[in-house]
Copies of this chain bind each other. A is one copy, B any other.
Amino acid sequence: MKTREIAELVGGDLSGDPKVEIVRVADIATAGDGDVAFYEKMDEGFSSNASCLLVPQDSSASNGTLIKVENPKLAFARVAAFLHPQKHRLTEIHPTAVISDSAKIGQDVFIGAFVCVGDSSVIGDGCQMRAGAKVGDNVTLGKNCLLHPNVFVEDGCTLGSSVILHTGVVIGADGFGYVRGENEYVKFPQIGTVVIEDNVEIGSNTCVDRGALGETRIGEGTKIDNLVQIAHNVQIGKRVVIAAQTGISGSTVIEDDCVIGGQVGMGDHARVQSGAVIGSQAGVLPGKIVRRGVWWGTPVQPLDEYKRQNAHMKSLSRLKDEVRRLASLIERIKKDRKS
């Protein structure tokens, strides 16, 4: 890919040699010959060895081959998608795969070793199911889904197109619901389903439980990290980002365009409104409504309140000293008045 083609791809403004051959993306610190790198802040006056740099519009850099763009990191990601496309696996159904006669397998599908596809399931065109991935019965995968090794999708769940499930993801296992009987817990029915919309990506060993009665849903373009727990009947909107090890309890709703940090815990039946940002390790109480804005702490509170409270706590020692000082002043006043 020539630098000129890169500039066209990202709609950028090229200065320098338009014919440099670029073969890979690289970190600006280690980039060298044939590499394209980026920086985000105009004052990072890097003397990088990259053959081409994606830089912000207001960058004052002038030496080397530069492409000025509005969002260099985004441009870099788009170039990377071209230079390093997802691994292409040739169309194949591995002889060890166990595929139900009633399953429908689309065109240009890769099915690896030890894959299982259950009864009446549909695998869309261009899907890749890597070694050991399994789908149960009546599962539907849209087009171009990528199931990494050992993924499991339980009976009756539905995936849209271009969904990526990383290794060990479990979709559609029973939710965690019991009713206390006299001397035992009786399982509450977990007979709903999971719907995952287009362009969702879910990290390794994350679990998305099926709805108890209705459905658990993950909206279009949402990205979920590793080891996340999504309980039954949770509704996650579009373009939500959820970092690793966060847990979301039953029936909680996260609206579009929220950003949730890592190790956040949410109680059941909470609602996170569109545009809310929740910091790592925060705790959202059951039923709580979290409005647009930045939130932090347990129980969750607006970031500036959290910071203020934290500052207060840090100054508790001084406050105590001050109270002690006042007490002794008052003692003195009282004594003086008596004398």
Q: B152 to A223, Cβ gap below 8 A?
A: no
Instruction: Assess A184 versus B239: contact at CB under 8 Å? Given A26-B213, A227-B207, A281-B298.
Output: yes
The reply to whether the CB of A288 lies closer than 8 angstroms to some CB of chain B is no
Residues from 320 to 337 in A contacting B, C-beta threshold 8 Å: 320, 322-323, 326-327, 329-330, 333-334, 336-337
- Least CB distance from A226 to B in Å reads 4
Instruction: Assess A204 versus B173: contact at CB under 8 Å? Given A134-B149, A152-B168.
Output: yes
Contact count band on A: 35 or more
Contact among B113, B185, B227 for A223, CB-based, below 8 A:
B185
Copies of the polypeptide in the assembly: 3
The reply to whether the CB of A88 lies closer than 8 angstroms to some CB of chain B is no
Q: Mark A157-171, 1 if CB is under 8 A from B, else 0.
A: 000000000111010
Contact among B132, B166, B184, B207 for A174, CB-based, below 8 A:
B166
Residues from 66 to 124 in A contacting B, C-beta threshold 8 Å: 71, 73-74, 76-78, 80-81, 84, 87, 94, 96, 98, 112-114, 116
- Chain B residues with CB under 8 Å of A78's CB are 186
Bound: A323/B319 CA distance, A: 8
The reply to whether the CB of A193 lies closer than 8 angstroms to some CB of chain B is no
Contact among B81, B199, B209, B245 for A184, CB-based, below 8 A:
B199
The reply to whether the CB of A312 lies closer than 8 angstroms to some CB of chain B is yes
The reply to whether the CB of A140 lies closer than 8 angstroms to some CB of chain B is no
Instruction: Assess A244 versus B231: contact at CB under 8 Å? Given A167-B170, A191-B80, A330-B330.
Output: yes
Q: B229 to A229, Cβ gap below 8 A?
A: no
- Least CB distance from A172 to B in Å reads 9
- Least CB distance from A198 to B in Å reads 10
- Least CB distance from A205 to B in Å reads 5
Bound: A316/B221 CA distance, A: 42
The reply to whether the CB of A147 lies closer than 8 angstroms to some CB of chain B is no
Bound: A78/B223 CA distance, A: 37
Q: A223 to B178, Cβ gap below 8 A?
A: yes
Contact among B229, B298, B316 for A245, CB-based, below 8 A:
B229
> A226: nearest residue on chain B (CB-CB)?
B207
Instruction: Assess A244 versus B247: contact at CB under 8 Å? Given A73-B179, A309-B313.
Output: yes
Q: B265 to A249, Cβ gap below 8 A?
A: no
- Chain B residues with CB under 8 Å of A74's CB are 179-181, 186
- Least CB distance from A133 to B in Å reads 10
Contact among B77, B167, B241, B312 for A187, CB-based, below 8 A:
B77
Instruction: Assess A149 versus B148: contact at CB under 8 Å? Given A166-B170, A207-B227.
Output: no
15 extra interface residue pairs, beta carbon distance < 8 Å, beyond A132-B132, A173-B204, A178-B223: A74-B186, A77-B188, A77-B189, A80-B191, A96-B98, A170-B205, A204-B207, A231-B244, A245-B265, A247-B262, A263-B265, A267-B280, A281-B298, A323-B326, A336-B337
Nearest 5 A/B pairs, CB to CB:
A80-B189, A312-B316, A170-B204, A229-B244, A27-B213
